[in-house]
Amino acid sequence: MKKQVLFGIALLCSAFLGNVRAANPLQDTTYNAMGPNGEYTLTNKWLYSVTLGNYVAAGDKIGTSGFVRGMAVKDGKMLFIDREKKQITVVNGETGLKEDPIILASNIFTYIGRNKADTADSIYVAGTLPYNDIKVDNAGNVLIGNCITSSAGRFQVWKINLTDGSGTLIIDQANLATLFPASTIRFDAFGVWGDVNTNAIIMASNASAMEAYKWTITNGVLSDPVMIEIDNVTEGTYLTGLPNPGSAPQIFPLDDNYFYLDGNATYPTLIDKDGNVIDGFYNNPSALKDSTTMKDKILTMNQGHNGIAEFQVGDEYFVVMAATNTAGTPPSSFRLFKFADANKAFSGLDCLWTFPMKGMGGSSNAYRTGMPAVEVSGNTAKIYVYTGENGYGMYEFRVTQSGKPEISLQPVTVSVNGNTLKLSETVANLSIYNITGQLIGKFANVSSVEAPGKGIFVVKATTLHGETAIQKVIVK
């Protein structure tokens, strides 16, 4: 009788715990429009975070602490790799609500080898921490990878069928110690560019040394890995003198020639296939400080969380990245920048916002995940973010007027006479922008002004009656 009662209680508790529901997704604060004409807007659609108080209970969280270290996005769904449950947890990107998970096949991150007595084959687990990272390639293939903590580990990357959870083994590297006997190796994450079914690059950053490892897939055939020694000797970069990139580094190949490296000890840094440091915040240290999000406070980036994503809207280029770690201000935040042009140089970075404005939270995140992912449709980019142990959310970034002021000749017009800009009437306010949208002159109660130089300018005028006109002018 006692056994039956206890069994009934166990069933009741199991049913109760199984039906725990997450708190409702909340919304972050409102962000001011940016750009000379307010053409850039950022809106939080939903957010779970420690800061908001709805990422605290077990039902709120994406998984058990320490077991969900990677996030990627495909077709509006956030995909989280869960090592404890051996599944991909799926979140609807529009609502923030969890959907049915993808249970992964039992053979993933396993291999067959001889037992110690060499009498029979046995099944072994590959790597120290299976189900450790997840990425989506340019063709939409979903890949998951394990963590290895030495060169004796077996590094694997699998392609996942989201319909049934089955996997296809893409990388099964068991001989790293033989190929690179002088290297001490730890891989926490991987990056991918291209289509793993045909032509692609897969990379992993070594947490123990300034090294990156690169596999090339050509016409569906995988190469042996090559090791890239990253320059930490040349003076003047933020990698100078670093023995390694710090814990849990992330790597993001952009093509066959370039990749971003971001580790616990680094800011995101652009590197070429020969290991040369090409660009980074060392070329624009002032971009580490944000004076636009909060008008009365400067927010400074720090190292510690790892993640970056470039994207394009129309003919403009942007990048979003982890901005602060759990000890930063605000704790566990991201930052969105605009590049000056298609060259995407750090020297031309323009900070738009740091978000969430109050951060996602200060709960310990030992695996350093601060991952953004972006999907673009038309003039709108959906920015998905995940900070380990502190929450996840989605922001909508919108670019109006294709990022450039619309040209209007009414109600006031501008003409060029030599070096003078003449208006058809006296205006209350006049602003002059260069072709990239940077404000270079502002005037009040004028009917003419001297041009700031030769070139193409955009003039925005507000009449004494409050009407606004925007016109492009050429000063030769």
Structure tokens at 408: 């209007």
Average pLDDT rounded to a whole number, residues 54-68: 95
Residue where the block lists tokens 């998905």: 384
DSSP 249: -
Longest pairwise C-alpha distance within the chain: 102
- Which residue did the predictor score with more confidence, 463 or 208? 208
Alpha helix segments (H runs only) across 285-437: none
Asked whether the predicted pLDDT for residue 8 surpasses 50, the reply is no
- Residues 230 and 228: their CA atoms lie apart, in Å, by 6
Q: Is 281 helix (H, G, I), strand (E, B) or coil?
A: helix
Residue 410: its pLDDT value, please? 55
pLDDT at 17: 38
Token look-up 């926490």 returns: 188
Q: What are the residues whose beta carbons fall under 8 Å from the beta carbon of 290, sequence distance 6 or more?
A: 298, 299, 300, 301, 323, 335, 351, 353, 354
**Which pTM value belongs to this model?**
0.81
| CA 50 – CA 222 distance, rounded (Å) | 42
Q: Assign 401 a pLDDT band (cuts: 50, 70, 90).
A: low
Residue for token pair 């919304």: 27
Tokens representing 313 are 């809207």
CB 470 within 8 A of CB 404: no
The DSSP string of 444-473 is EEEEEEE-SSSEEEEEEEEETTS-EEEEEE
**Whose CA is closest to 355, among 82, 2, 29?**
29
What does the pLDDT average to over 457-465? 85
CA angle 374/376/381 to nearest 5° reads 70
The torsion of the CA quartet 381, 385, 391, 395, rounded to 10 degrees, works out to: -20
Task: Give dist(CA 271, CA 146) in Å, integer.
Answer: 24
Does residue 379 carry a pLDDT above 70? yes
Q: What does the pLDDT look like over 141-192, one tens digit per residue?
A: 999 999 999 999 999 999 999 999 999 999 999 999 999 999 999 999 999 9
Q: And the tokens for 175?
A: 């001989």
pLDDT confidence tier of residue 15, bands split at 50, 70 and 90: very low
Each residue's pLDDT tens digit, 316-357: 999 999 999 999 999 999 999 999 999 999 999 999 999 999
